[in-house]
């Protein structure tokens, strides 16, 4: 479990069980953001002092998911980073997606219907069996936002590769609590404002170089240049050779904030966070007489009275697909679990 000295890096309100919506930043992130906002207010420094945070965050994310840092591109949102990937899918392709997939990893393919891109949906649990010789792309969330279901990553990427299909994985609900090896994933995207606890406006895409070669960098601007200081004006096109060619000009402060958040994750250690988050989630399920699910995201069907009791007890959750969704992260404690179980069942753990 995560020790109290590590948990002191954060300052959550008791009962915040909603990291699936957004993660809480460590104190260091908030302090850093206050500093840059002060700098911005008076023009105390050049933007060039904020910009290096982008590469620092890129390296920290690359280490977290076990890919080379120069295969990681940055942007503001998952759907935005997926747009050029989806545009690279050939006309008439068949894209396989879980039916309950969060739409940022679905709409980017559906908008290509006019050129014959066909999207086929199946339940997340059936995805592996549905991959066959007709599949050109398999796109799925590693952890489903609506249910907390954890996809069998290695099996899915292996099956996709065996049938010559591209794998596109949305790690937004996974990276930060689930140890991930993305080295076999063709494209792995991740919004950083949830389990990575960064400000909204920072997102990553790790693209395998063989796949990158097929993708047109449709959002390229000066920041995608090989040397962005030499890319302000005029032709020729001079994009970065690495995945930076897919970079979208950074929202500076989001990236300045992302670095201390990712550093706090690194300090806590992904294995320890995984153990901690899953232990809390499983303890919550045990309190409701349910078997462990080994996911940091838990959903339960509860009646309106229980929902009201949860809110009255100060437990912050979300309702998704008709169920209450609770998420357990590094800053949560057994006391949060106890409060939630008591509110739902009327009896303490």
**Closest listed residue to residue 141, CA positions, set 109, 199, 181, 99:** 99
**Closest listed residue to residue 162, CA positions, set 125, 135, 180:** 135
Binding of ligand PLP by 317 (CB under 6 A): no
Q: How far is the CB of 323 from ligand PLP (least distance, A)?
A: 15
Binding of ligand PLP by 299 (CB under 6 A): no
Distance, CA of 89 to CA of 231 (rounded, Å)? 28
Q: Which is nearer to ligand PLP, 77 or 273 (CB)?
A: 77
Binding of ligand PLP by 172 (CB under 6 A): yes
Region binding ligand PLP by CB under 6 A among candidate stretches 8-16, 24-32, 92-100, 167-175: 167-175
Binding of ligand PLP by 137 (CB under 6 A): no
Q: Which is nearer to ligand PLP, 231 or 328 (CB)?
A: 328
Q: How far is the CB of 137 from ligand PLP (least distance, A)?
A: 17
Binding of ligand PLP by 203 (CB under 6 A): yes
Is residue 229 left, alpha or beta, with left meaning phi > 0 and alpha meaning psi from -120 to 50?
alpha
Q: Which is nearer to ligand PLP, 7 or 327 (CB)?
A: 327
Binding of ligand PLP by 173 (CB under 6 A): yes
Q: Which of 102, 140, 246, 331 binds ligand PLP (CB under 6 A)?
A: 102
Binding of ligand PLP by 145 (CB under 6 A): yes
Distance, CA of 20 to CA of 22 (rounded, Å)? 6
Distance, CA of 183 to CA of 173 (rounded, Å)? 18
Region binding ligand PLP by CB under 6 A among candidate stretches 58-66, 75-83, 246-254, 260-268: 75-83
Q: Which long-range contacts (CB under 8 A, 24 or more apart) does 237-243 make?
A: 242/70, 242/71, 243/70, 243/71, 243/72, 243/73, 243/205, 243/206, 243/207, 243/209, 243/212
Region binding ligand PLP by CB under 6 A among candidate stretches 89-97, 169-177, 246-254, 308-316: 169-177
Distance between the two ends of the chain, CA-based, in angstroms? 19
Count of other CB atoms within 10 angstroms of residue 208: 20
Binding of ligand PLP by 184 (CB under 6 A): no
Q: Where are the alpha helices (DSSP H) in the chain?
A: 4-7, 27-42, 53-65, 78-87, 107-110, 127-130, 153-162, 209-212, 252-268, 270-287, 304-312, 334-345
Site size with ligand PLP, rule: CB under 6 A: 12
Q: Which of 153, 156, 170, 185 binds ligand PLP (CB under 6 A)?
A: 170
Q: Which of 18, 19, 32, 79 binds ligand PLP (CB under 6 A)?
A: 79
Interface residues with ligand PLP (CB under 6 A) are 77-79, 102, 104, 141, 145, 170, 172-173, 191, 203
């Amino acid at each position: 479990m995560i020790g109290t000295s590590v948990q002191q890096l954060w300052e959550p309100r008791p009962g915040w069980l909603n990291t699936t919506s957004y993660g809480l930043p460590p104190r260091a992130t908030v302090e850093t953001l206050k500093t840059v906002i002060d700098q911005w207010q008076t023009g105390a420094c050049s933007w060039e002092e904020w910009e290096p945070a982008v590469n620092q965050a890129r390296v920290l994310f690359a280490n977290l998911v076990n890919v080379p840092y120069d295969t990681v591109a940055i942007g503001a949102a998952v759907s935005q980073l997926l747009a050029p990937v989806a545009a690279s899918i050939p006309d008439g392709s068949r894209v396989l997606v879980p039916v309950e997939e969060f739409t940022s990893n679905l709409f980017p393919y559906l908008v290509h219907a006019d050129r014959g891109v066909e999207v086929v949906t199946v339940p997340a649990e059936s995805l592996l069996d549905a991959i066959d010789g007709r599949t050109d792309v398999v796109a799925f969330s590693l952890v489903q936002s609506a249910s907390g279901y954890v996809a069998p990553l290695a099996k899915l990427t292996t099956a996709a590769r065996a049938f010559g299909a591209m794998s596109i994985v949305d790690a937004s609900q996974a990276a930060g609590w689930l140890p991930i090896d993305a080295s076999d994933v063709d494209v792995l995207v991740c919004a950083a404002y949830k389990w990575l606890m960064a400000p909204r406006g920072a997102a990553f895409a790790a693209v395998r170089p063989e796949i990158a070669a097929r993708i047109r960098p449709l959002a390229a601007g000066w920041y995608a240049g090989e040397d962005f200081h030499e890319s302000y004006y005029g032709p020729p096109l001079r994009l970065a050779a690495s995945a930076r060619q897919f970079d979208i000009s950074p929202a500076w402060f989001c990236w300045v904030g992302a670095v201390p958040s990712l550093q706090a994750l690194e300090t806590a250690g992904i294995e320890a966070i995984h153990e901690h988050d899953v232990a809390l989630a499983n303890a919550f399920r045990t309190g409701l007489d349910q078997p462990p699910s080994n996911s940091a995201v838990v959903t339960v069907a509860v009646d309106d009275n229980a929902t009201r009791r949860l809110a009255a007890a100060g437990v912050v959750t979300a309702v998704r697909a008709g169920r209450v969704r609770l998420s357990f992260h590094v800053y949560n404690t057994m006391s949060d679990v106890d409060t939630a179980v008591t509110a739902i069942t009327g009896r303490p753990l």
